[in-house]
Amino acid sequence: MWHRNKLLLSLAGLSLGISLLSNNYPFFVLISIFLFFLLLSLVNKRIWFLTVFFVIGMYSSYLQMQVSPHDITRISSLSQSSPPSHSSCSPQRREIKGKGTFFRQAEGTILSSTPDTFSTTYVIRINSVLTEDGKEIKASGKILLKTNRLQSSLFIPGQHLTMQGLTLKQIPPPKNPYTFDYRSFMQRRGVYLEGKSCGLLTKPGSSYSIFSFFYRTRQVLRGKIHNHFTYFPEEKELIETITLGKEKIPDFLREAGIRSGTYHLLVISGLHIAFILLFLKILFIPFARLNNSHPKFFPLFSLLFMWFYAGVTGFKIPVVRAVLMLSFFNAGEILERDIDGIDSIMAAAILMLVLNPYNLFDASFQLSFIATAGIILFCRRFGLLKKNYLQGLVLSSLAAQLAVFPILLYHFGVFYPAGLLTNLVFLPFTGLLVIVSMLSFLLPFIFEPLRYLLTIFLCGITLSSQLTPFSINCSVSLWLILSYYGISFLVFYAPRQKSTTVFLASATSLSLLFVIALPLIKAPSSDHLYFLAFSRPSALFIGENNQNVAFLADHYKRSEIKNNLSPLLQKERIKTTAGLFYTTLSYNHTGTLKALQKTTEIQKVYEHPGDRDTFSFPYDNIYFYRSFPGLFQFIPDKGEVAVNGLSVEVLGEEKGMLSYILKKGKVSILFAPYLGEKVSAKIRDRRFSVACIHNIGTTVRTRKNLSTLDYLYLILPQGYKKFANLPHPRIKTFYLKDGAVKMDFSLSPFLISHFYELACPLP
């Protein structure tokens, strides 16, 4: 118990120190908390662990954020230049689009390789670079190298790579709010730059033996899978996902896994490690006599095998966490000392956070540790080990789901309660698949029955995903998560301790976390307008009472509403769409309506009379009009309607596009998907605060009309030549290719910026 208390306090201090420094808290706050912990340490020596690891957490985060003088990030920032026209690139690759830093040549070592259908992405550790003026500079750090050449997939991790004509730039931020932040994802792995090269060369035989060994082993196993599942692509993707792991899970598996609540069974984690350990024990049944005479042989063998498996899977965080836990267990058996499950979890977490503090903010790291800790604590509290198999399986599944419930809502905004039931069936089925898959690598004739099992599993999760009755869609705040886990900790852990000191120290740490979290708690914001970086003209106004007004294209065939707009609505806690305006016309204009209804309640759809003049009128439209007659309202040209604090004037339709003038107080905004002779004549001699234009006509009359426009800010999709005749904005031009643009009306008259930048005040 003494050791567990020290580990708990150490983990709490380490996490607190990492969180504070990573979120750039003022120096006086850090010193104040350190002095407070120091005073507590004088009262009780156990608090020393909290104090010391609080300092270690801050120091490790500080080191992680530092950039050495020879780091490629610093070198590239000091030598900004564009690729010269006389570069040594081949003619078809001479022009490299996008600004960045150009190097004539760079040397590095491949750390990892991620092949895709038409390209391969590498993580490269840079050794040296050759600048444009011929100066060779020693360099360090990692970059992301993207190539469209299929033959480049022949390069393997560990090989020395020469990159000719290398152009580097920062990894771009996400284009729309609350979508997956790939830049932050890579920065947590120490990668800040991405680049493209004109030519790639490698030296024969140059490799890191450990990297190449794991990679070649993985390729051999993948080859066996491909040979036996040539005509069964779905089964091939499934077995490769649950045994070798994939950087990107196929969309059909991801969708079925999320909706059925079995997604965690598809991602290699500690659960799969447990199944593989069971597989090893089955293999050792014939060697029971050897194991009895040498009791340390199996723990040592399983330890080595698990680290080998972790290397083959690419040292993914859930696998490393599980193997670390197993290592502590096996070390206890080898040294003949008992190591508690919770102790091993905390020790593994401390080690991984010291090595990489950014792991603390990784969803995979949080889910893997919290789920395992939840199962162990739940089992002890309610004596699940004394239950029969079925009761233990049910309650263990329930414990894992309850443990990760708030984390899933925080990161993904959705939770499918059906997973509580489906896991009872698919959890043991997954164990069977993993064990049989491992046997098939040793005995290839088992691949045939394995294929039938994989087909049954696929049919099962697909069917259960289609029959899922409902989901919980909401966004939880940080204080709610802290409250949930604080109460859970006090219920499952603290009351069982005899030491009041640990209880008081834990309560103090939780109180500090609440205080620290207060500045991070953001109330739902309102009165702002997003111009979204979608494939078609789109905007979203978030007004009073957590309601929005959406401007979207007809009949989205892409998944932008689901993947980009729905996360934005969930994070902003938007429950109702007060008005839906279309920016394009089509013969079936209910596709967007149905997609949006899955996330919010739509009160009114404002349509243009031209919708009914299309060449056909599908059944979907007739159904919606007859079933919801009060939902639709037609607004003619020059018509105006006030919706949720926003005044919308319809300019009319031109070439299948609908243009509007939006007014918020004294701020006037032109939102024009297309400006031709018809629409440009209606806004001649007008003045706007902001003009968002996606396309324009090129006629003489159109150019004459547009020359009379006046606006402070201009928003364009990107810098096409056809926009050259537009009047220059008085202040600034924003490009949607760089990311969505946000207008904030909370300060008069408004603030405007790319959503990922600091707001730019209106002069």
Q: Give kind and range of the element (H or E) at residue 109.
A: strand 101-115
Domain 528-761 has CATH 3.30.2010.30: no
Contacts of residue 678, Cβ cutoff 8 Å, sequence gap at least 6: 652, 654
Task: Kindly write down the DSSP assignment for every residue of 361-415, as one continuous string.
Answer: G-HHHHHHHHHHHHHHHHHHHHTGGGS-HHHHHHHHHHHHHHHHHHHHHHHHSEE
Domain 72-207 has CATH 3.30.420: no
Q: Indicate left, alpha or beta for 739 from its phi (over 0: left) and psi (-120 to 50: alpha).
A: left
| pLDDT reported for residue 268 | 79
| pLDDT reported for residue 610 | 66
Counting Cβ atoms within 10 Å, is residue 577 exposed (0-12), middle (13-18) or buried (19+)?
buried
Return the DSSP state at 83: P
Longest CA span, the chain: 95
| pLDDT reported for residue 519 | 46
How many CA within 13 A on the CB side of residue 235? 22
How many CA within 13 A on the CB side of residue 713? 23
| pLDDT reported for residue 179 | 83
Q: For residue 105, give the nearest of 82, 78, 132 by alpha carbon.
A: 132
| pLDDT reported for residue 537 | 92
Domain boundaries, the chain: 2-66+477-520, 72-207, 213-473, 528-761
Q: Give kind and range of the element (H or E) at residue 659.
A: strand 657-664
| Cα distances (angstroms) measured from residue 578 to each of 545, 551, 595, 685 | 10, 11, 16, 32
| pLDDT reported for residue 518 | 45
| Cα distances (angstroms) measured from residue 461 to each of 259, 281, 456, 608, 704 | 9, 29, 9, 42, 60
Query: Does the reported pTM lie above 0.85?
Result: no
| 8 A C-beta contact, residue 18 and residue 365 | no
| pLDDT reported for residue 735 | 93
For residues 296 and 101, give the distance between their C-alpha atoms in angstroms, rounded to a whole number.
55
| Cα distances (angstroms) measured from residue 48 to each of 43, 53, 544 | 10, 8, 49
Residues in the chain with pLDDT values less than 70: 1-4, 78-99, 117, 149-154, 204-209, 338, 382-394, 413, 468-479, 489-526, 555-558, 587-589, 610-624, 757-763
Instruction: Convert the pLDDT of each residue in 591-638 to its tens digit.
Output: 788 888 878 889 998 887 766 655 455 555 666 677 777 788 888 877
Q: Can you say whether the dihedral through the CA atoms of 237, 243, 249, 251 is positive or negative?
A: positive
Place of tokens 């896991």: 423
Q: Indicate left, alpha or beta for 98 from its phi (over 0: left) and psi (-120 to 50: alpha).
A: left
Return the DSSP state at 82: P
Number of H helices, E strands in the chain: 26, 26
